[in-house]
A and B are shown apart, each in its own frame.
Chain A
């Protein structure tokens, strides 16, 4: 019997009106809530706009926002803070995530429970993670003050959120706790896709544990490693909730990343045009950095 409908999905070139029809709602919605707002934000970044209202007449075109941005000490400070944060958090997330994944990839009793637990913080909403760490680092009765005094790291209680270096450290710790389980999940999935045969062959050839790690595990993980690294860096780069609720960018702008600065300028000082310029620059950095890191194969992001 001949099919009533002439649509051969196995054929390499399968253009069909249905393909367009199915795509139409997504294109329409994405156009309305992502593309159009994006165009608006690029547009207002070239205007001197304070409070964005679309029904107001356009202001004249100006590059003043971008000129102001690149000559502003605050911008370079925020860029530096962002860079520091991205590097520190990503490195720790990576080392801890890879180590944890290798650990729970061993065969032992209760390993499914262990796998569940090591990924648990991933499921905790960011605001709740902040509540936990803000309380643990409370200046008077926080647990961490007590632990650090017991361990001899500090002599008296520290007011973590009034010292720039200490506040930056608390932000790092919160982000690492919240972010590194994601790396563990990804690495574990990567480890499980490595065929057991590779290891058996290596054992036959007399490779020790370390050689197996360096010559089989790490190279096989490289694709997942790359994608995960980019995802973690993008997350830190753009994160708003953790820093904003934990420190608000302070003290003395020590934790003010580009995202926090964008938001502050937009909704603290109502400099919407200037804020959009910072946001556009942030987006351009994100796109370029991730393209550079994963080349022309962005399928997995």
Chain B
């Protein structure tokens, strides 16, 4: 079917308009970062600075402990993803392949756990971590983020394992593999893309957290995560929007890069459960 010229012109205009409106705030963050401070406080606003200050990213990294914050965020994300993935891979496989007494109720509980408000869970966790003397330590964040990640990863992985035919394990076991060996040597390698997508999703969840970091780490400056550091910059008496924007870009960059290069996998994992 041939589309009219009018139709396709309208289509392109609409697409460009929607994309521009959506991406503009990110563009504006970038422009704010590379504009010299005196050009931010002018009206009408400038949509491209006369002399972009490209060195702002280096400057803000030497002025503020941004690398430390990024490192802390990375450690917290790595720890919580490792912990969550370990238990989720095993549990997701079990929920997918075995009929276990109580398995269904466990699955239902995990679904309900996704609805837990962080603002509710943060209260008892604060008490528990205080008793264990973990407040201010990155371990508190690793454990708290695991409560966010495990409910997601377990179900994503169960859904992924469900798509892998059982005949694979059968064949491996006929060849003399133990059930555990079949899982480790046959199913896990086949699932590598699904495992990677799930782990990345967990990484994004951890990287984006603010509530737990704000509660457990506020008094431990050396352990601040990136998001917490950014909000302290925003909370200063006179907000230096150029520096805040530059720092924000550095913080958003890892997640944006993951998204841009691995969109297919991430979105696949996100929507896998919804297409049934």
| Residue ranges of A at the interface with B (Cβ–Cβ < 8 Å) | 1, 3-5, 7-10, 12-16, 18-20, 22-23, 25-27, 29-30, 33-38, 40-41, 44, 52-55, 100, 103-104, 106, 108, 111, 114, 116-136, 138, 140-141, 143, 146, 177, 181-182, 185-186, 189-190, 193, 223-224, 227-228, 234, 237-238, 240-241, 244-245, 259-260, 262-263, 266-267, 272, 275-276, 279-280, 282-283, 286-287, 290, 298-301
Contact = CB atoms under 8 A, between A and B. Distances in A.
B262 to A, nearest CB: 10
Contacts of A37: 121, 124-125, 128, 147
Contact of B29 (A131, A182, A259): A131
Contacts of B29: 128, 131-132, 135
Contact of A22 (B94, B117, B143, B241): B94
A135 B245 contact: yes
Contact of A127 (B28, B122, B227): B227
Interface string B243-275: 011001001100110111001000100110111
Given A14-B98, A128-B251, A34 B116 contact: yes
B211 A53 contact: no
Given A121-B22, A122-B259, A245-B210, 17 more contacts: A26-B91, A29-B146, A52-B127, A54-B127, A104-B15, A106-B11, A118-B22, A134-B234, A135-B28, A143-B45, A181-B22, A185-B267, A227-B274, A238-B118, A263-B211, A299-B276, A300-B276
B250 to A, nearest CB: 10
- Main secondary structure, interface of A, reads helix
Interface string B19-58: 1001101101100100000001111110000000000000
Given A19-B98, A33-B146, A240-B211, A262 B117 contact: yes
Contact of A120 (B26, B91, B241): B26
A151 to B, nearest CB: 13
A1 B173 CA distance: 11
Given A34-B147, A123-B259, A241-B211, A259 B117 contact: yes
Contacts of B154: 26
B108 interface: yes
8 contacts: A15-B101, A34-B150, A37-B128, A114-B19, A117-B23, A132-B28, A141-B41, A259-B117
Contacts, number: 321
Contacts of A14: 97-99
Interface of B: 8, 11-12, 14-15, 18-19, 22-23, 25-26, 28-29, 32, 40-45, 83, 86-88, 90-91, 93-95, 97-101, 103, 106, 108-128, 130-131, 143-144, 146-147, 150, 154, 166, 169-170, 173-174, 176-180, 204, 207-211, 214-215, 227, 230-231, 234, 239, 241, 244-245, 248, 251-252, 255-256, 258-260, 263, 267, 270-271, 273-276
B259 A125 contact: no
B117 A33 contact: no
A104 to B, nearest CB: 7
Contacts of A106: 11
A231 to B, nearest CB: 9
Contacts of B211: 240-241, 244, 263
B263 A119 contact: yes
A37 B88 CA distance: 20
Q: Which of B14, B106, B120, B244 has the most CB of A within 10 A?
A: B120
B35 to A, nearest CB: 11
Contacts of B15: 103-104, 108, 111, 114
A59 B212 CA distance: 26
A228 B115 contact: no
Contacts of A279: 117, 119-120, 123
A227 B234 CA distance: 35
Contacts of A136: 25, 28
B101 A22 contact: no
Contacts of A282: 117, 119-120
Given A55-B131, A193-B275, A275-B123, A132 B234 contact: no
Contacts of B256: 120, 123-124
Contacts of B276: 223, 299-300
Contact of A116 (B26, B260, B270): B260
A9 B170 contact: yes
A44 B123 contact: yes
Contacts of A286: 115, 117
A43 B44 CA distance: 56
A15 B22 contact: no
A140 to B, nearest CB: 8
Contact of A298 (B97, B108, B143, B178): B108
Given A41-B120, A266-B122, A25 B19 contact: no
A282 B118 CA distance: 11
A9 B97 contact: yes
B226 to A, nearest CB: 8
Contacts of A8: 170
B100 A131 contact: no
